[in-house]
Structure 1
């Protein structure tokens, strides 16, 4: 099993973002909380540029109207596309793979995927590179296969 390596003096020196990750990972067996009621999908965008959100279907009509009004008012504060997320703190979102000396690196055999999936993966990688979210890996001696997870298509109400 892999282990985390930090170049720090002690646990008190961890950045706040890492303390949060440590806290959230403390109980990995604990199931996530279940949604208590139905969710309603609301589109804050246009037909050409949809911006769907989900809010509780159990809210009273007056509360619903207030929430939708506020979400419409501040919809520019939310990001629906990678390119809208400029300036993310790299200490929060950057992943590194420090490896102890002496560990044997393992290459996985390439896995084939259908042409349709392969095209979607290439498009997604191009979008992420263009947005500046990813770059070529520093760890080129070994690789892990991409595991695409297709999302269910949802329609806005």
Structure 2
């Protein structure tokens, strides 16, 4: 991996310093018709719903034409043109980035693409999302497979202990020599304080968190209510 010295700026204005960059030969299409091109990827340590994002320069390189309205991508190959179709989720995300005018029928279609299924009898409130395009037989087989492997999922905070650092490790995205940031402590409403203490106790009991008496950093907690995808889309429309 080649070092990268240029920072990346997200939609929220957050600056992310890449771990490096790597050129990979990317093949797009199917087994019968495809095209290949060398593409330069910036590797970042940041949560994302995508494994990789192809920028406009690389889209031009494969001579592709995309339509967010129809959720389609076309590009020439030897012997014709290949057409790729996406799900309704991708156009919705692109539309939400460009503006708030997302029609309600489109949101309903996206919400219908996922089915919430409870697979653990002891945790019925915790569900997994399964695509609604699966057949009834495929849905039963997938649920059966998940139920046979319940031990690989984390159902409570105590299940997440003992993860090796080479698998998962949290790091602060700061430069060496920067002074610690200490925010002014803000109070919380009584009902929020109760919820915060309840969640903190779960993490402390599971040895995920520990109490620090002389900390150099201070960041106030920000409480966010858990909502469904449909509720989130509706909230975006209102704002």
Range class of TM-score, shorter chain: 0.5 to 0.7
Is 1:93 the counterpart of 2:168? The answer is: yes
Q: 1:77 aligns with which of 143, 152, 157?
A: 152
The aligned counterpart of 1:16 is: none
Cα distance in 2 between the residues matched to 1:90 and 1:41: 32
Moved over 4 A (4+): 1-4, 24-27
User: What SS is found at the alignment partner of 1:55?
Assistant: strand
Consecutive unaligned residues in structure 1, runs of 5 or more = 12-18
Structure 1 residue matching 2:197: 3-state secondary structure: helix
Tell me if 1:135 matches 2:159.
no
Gap runs ≥5 in structure 2: 1-13, 22-42, 56-86, 91-109, 230-239
- State the TM-score, normalized to the length of structure 1: 0.66
1:49 paired residue number? 123
Counterpart position of 2:191: 116
Q: Distance in 2 between matches of 1:138 and 1:91?
A: 28
Q: What is the aligned residue count?
A: 138
Q: Residue 149 of structure 1 aligns to a residue in which SS?
A: coil
1:91 shift after superposition: 3.4
* Residue 45 of structure 2, aligned match among 3, 21, 24: 21
Larger radius of gyration: 2
Partner of 1:15: none
Look up the SS of the partner of 2:224 in the other structure.
coil
Structure 2 equivalent of residue 40 of structure 1: 115
- Where 1:58 maps in the other structure, the secondary structure is coil
> Can you list the C-alpha shifts for 1:12-66, whole angstroms capped at 9, x where unaligned?
xxxxxxx6737x6986x9xxx93666111111123x5324211111111121111
Q: Distance in 1 between matches of 2:166 and 2:214?
A: 19
Partner Cα distance (1:58, 1:133) in 2: 38
Q: Which has the higher contact order (CA 8 A, sep 6+)?
A: 1
CA distance in 1, matches of 2:184, 2:143: 49
Q: Does 1:125 align with 2:200?
A: yes
Quote the Cα distance in structure 1 between the aligned partners of 2:132 and 2:162: 34
**Residues 93-142 of structure 1: CA deviation (Å, up to 9, x unaligned):** 332446533x3444211222211111111111111111111223597123
Shift of 1:77: 2.1
Cα distance between partner residues in 1 of 2:144 and 2:115:
15
Moved more, 121-130 or 88-97: 88-97
Q: Is the 8 A contact 2:123 2:155 kept in 1?
A: no
